[in-house]
């Protein structure tokens, strides 16, 4: 009889241990599933854009101005806590400001932009450091160019039919940021345009450049 009690007790302990392991595995899996979910965030910030013009073998910075950006991102985990893909959708203002000998030229083109960034992460305490790199693609949607020469001022649509400027832009983006307490984001980013904005042939080239300071909230 004692043998049967011992066997029964052993069986009950084995069942309890198995249930505990199953419960722990389920909890761990649930936690991993939460960590591997796609999260979304909103972003807003300051731009310091300019454009570089190249012609006749010489390259010139048109001059920096001030712009802004606003948008949303998706944070897609590939390797939990280490590697993510972060696509976004932004409305962003770029351009330049040029002044010489009293003549002035200022442009503020606005773009709808899609960055697709590969993001490496490192977590310490409540902070998560991230380094971002990847391409961006954009289409111009609005903007003006204001020119003042010899005291005369002229305003035109930056992407007007006779402007000679293409709406499509693309380039590379690189930067870094910190997320605090899983929600609050602060970061910087630099965009180097690779597409020639000048329409038509020829050797002249015009490209966007942009430095960004961004804050945001992750849901």
Query: DSSP for 122-189?
Result: EEETTEEEEEEEEEEEEEEEE-EEEEEETTEEEEEETT-TTS-B-SEEEEEEEEEEEEETTTEEEEEE
| Gap between the Cα atoms of 186 and 195, Å rounded | 28
Q: Which residues contact residue 132 at a Cβ distance below 8 angstroms, ignoring those fewer than 6 apart?
A: 86, 117, 118, 119, 173, 174, 175, 176, 177, 187, 189
Q: Which residues contact residue 124 at a Cβ distance below 8 angstroms, ignoring those fewer than 6 apart?
A: none
How does residue 20 score in pLDDT terms, banded at 50, 70 and 90?
A: very low
Structure tokens at 90: 């932004």
Instruction: Please count the other Cβ atoms lying within 10 Å of the Cβ belonging to residue 29.
Output: 10
Q: What is the pLDDT of residue 22?
A: 43
> For the chain, what is the mean pLDDT?
85
How does residue 56 score in pLDDT terms, banded at 50, 70 and 90?
A: low
Q: What is the pLDDT of residue 19?
A: 41
In the predicted model, what is the mean pLDDT of residues 42-52? 97
Q: What is the pLDDT of residue 211?
A: 98
The residue with greater pLDDT, 212 or 103, is: 212
Q: Are 212 and 190 in contact (CB under 8 A)?
A: yes
List the one residue out of 195, 199, 206, 196 whose CA is nearest residue 105: 206
């Amino acid at each position: 009889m004692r043998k049967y009690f011992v066997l029964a007790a052993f069986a009950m302990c084995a069942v309890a241990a198995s249930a505990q392991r199953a419960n722990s595995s389920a909890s761990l899996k649930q936690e991993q599933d939460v960590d591997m979910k796609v999260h979304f965030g909103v972003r807003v910030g300051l731009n310091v854009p300019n454009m570089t013009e190249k012609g006749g073998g010489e390259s010139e910075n048109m001059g920096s101005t001030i712009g802004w950006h606003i948008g949303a991102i998706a944070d897609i985990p590939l390797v939990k806590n280490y590697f993510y893909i972060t696509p976004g959708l932004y409305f962003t203002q770029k351009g330049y400001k040029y002044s010489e000998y009293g003549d002035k030229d200022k442009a503020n083109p606005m773009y709808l932009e899609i960055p697709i960034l590969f993001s490496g992460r490192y977590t310490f305490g409540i902070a998560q450091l991230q380094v971002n790199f990847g391409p961006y693609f954009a289409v111009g949607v609005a903007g003006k160019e204001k020119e003042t020469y010899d005291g005369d001022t002229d305003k035109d649509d930056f992407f007007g039919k006779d402007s000679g400027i293409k709406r499509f832009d693309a380039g590379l983006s690189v930067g870094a940021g910190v997320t605090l307490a899983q929600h609050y984001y602060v970061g910087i980013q630099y965009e180097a345009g690779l597409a020639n904005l000048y329409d038509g042939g020829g050797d002249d080239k015009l490209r966007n450049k942009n430095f960004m300071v961004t804050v945001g909230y992750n849901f």
